[in-house]
Amino acid sequence: MSKKTPILTVVGAGPGDEDLITLKAIKAIEAADVILYDALINEALLKYASKDAELIFVGKRKGCYAFQQEQINELIVAKAKEKGHVVRLKGGDPFIFGRGAEEIDFVRQFGLETFVVPGISSSVAAPAYQGIPLTKRGASESFWVITGTTKKHQISSDVALAAKSTATVVILMGMSKLDEIVTIFSAENKQNTAIAIIQNGTREDEKVGIGTIETIQDIVAQKELSSPAIIVIGDVVKERAVLSRIYSEAKEA
């Protein structure tokens, strides 16, 4: 049994681009005795781990469950008591549909010290990399971030509420519900509203489809877009700027 204080640090790994992780997150990874990491993180980040750290893949994404959530919770406690500092490395931000709060609630029952390192969420980073401003004067005054699929595998009722607003709507984990999303927005006479679907946002294999509510299903089929992807709906998609990856180009030069 370890004499180290059992600690859990829930760390946001960012949206995918390795450079979009924070310095505080890197320091947590370097200090970890055990790292439990998800399927959506960039595994290049594991190079910051100590050579003595135990790395455990607990992949969670649609159709890929190496561990159930209850098993992950129990594993965190067991490893923290055995080895000390456990880092739970999650894609994006751990408190935005990342279940980080649930894991903290569970482990506190067992006396673990808990910390959180925020991460950059794909909900804002992926549109930004595509030159889509979620808010812009004259186009959008606010934005919603919604999960497309609830715990019961149904579409969130908030999508229908958001469709009635003038806000930008960002839907995570919504590709399997795209047909329903289109139906909901069409019912609000928003067939001509702009929509973007960004697959693997901020990564080298990023793909994007731009269209309207009326055309997006055909575009998804043509471009063979699939999960993991985020959906951005609203006039801001028409404000999309053509961006050059200046920093990347400079490194290559």
Please, what are the domains in the chain? 7-117 (3.40.1010.10), 122-238 (3.30.950.10)
Percent of the chain's residues with pLDDT above 70: 92
Q: Which of 17, 79, 173, 177 is catalytic?
A: 173
pLDDT band at 251 (very low <50, low <70, confident <90, very high): very low
The verdict on whether 3 is a catalytic residue reads no
User: What is the average pLDDT across 50-73?
Assistant: 83
What is the spatial distance between Cα 46 and Cα 246, in angstroms, rounded to a whole number? 26
What b/e string do you get for 166-200 counting C-beta neighbours within 10 Å, with b at 16 or more?
ebbbbbbbbbebbeebbebbeeeebeebbbbbbbb
The verdict on whether 60 is a catalytic residue reads yes
Whether 105 and 132 have beta carbons less than 8 Å apart is answered as: no
The verdict on whether 173 is a catalytic residue reads yes
Question: Per residue in 109-140, pLDDT tens?
Answer: 999 999 999 999 999 999 999 999 999 998 89
Decide if pLDDT at 249 tops 70.
no
Query: What are the respective helix, strand and coil percentages of the chain, to the nearest 5?
Result: 35, 25, 40
Q: Are strands 143-147 and 7-12 parallel, antiparallel or unpaired?
A: unpaired
What is the spatial distance between Cα 132 and Cα 196, in angstroms, rounded to a whole number? 9
Backbone torsion region of residue 14, taken as left when φ is above 0, otherwise alpha when ψ lies between -120 and 50, otherwise beta:
left
Instruction: Average the pLDDT over each of 47-61, 73-87, 103-117, 217-231 and give the range with the smallest value.
Output: 47-61
Q: Which of 17, 33, 38, 93 is catalytic?
A: 38
This prediction has a pTM of: 0.90
User: What residues contact 174, with CB distance under 8 A and at least 6 apart?
Assistant: 146, 147, 148, 149, 155, 159, 181, 230, 231
Q: Which of 33, 60, 83, 90 is catalytic?
A: 60
Question: Per residue in 143-187, pLDDT tens?
Answer: 999 999 888 889 999 999 999 999 999 999 999 999 999 999 999
Q: What DSSP line would sit under 179-228, residue for residue? A: HHHHHHHHHTT-TT-EEEEEESTTSTT-EEEEEETTTHHHHHHHHT--SS
Question: Per residue in 181-193, pLDDT tens?
Answer: 999 999 999 999 9
What is the spatial distance between Cα 191 and Cα 187, in angstroms, rounded to a whole number? 8
pLDDT band at 253 (very low <50, low <70, confident <90, very high): very low
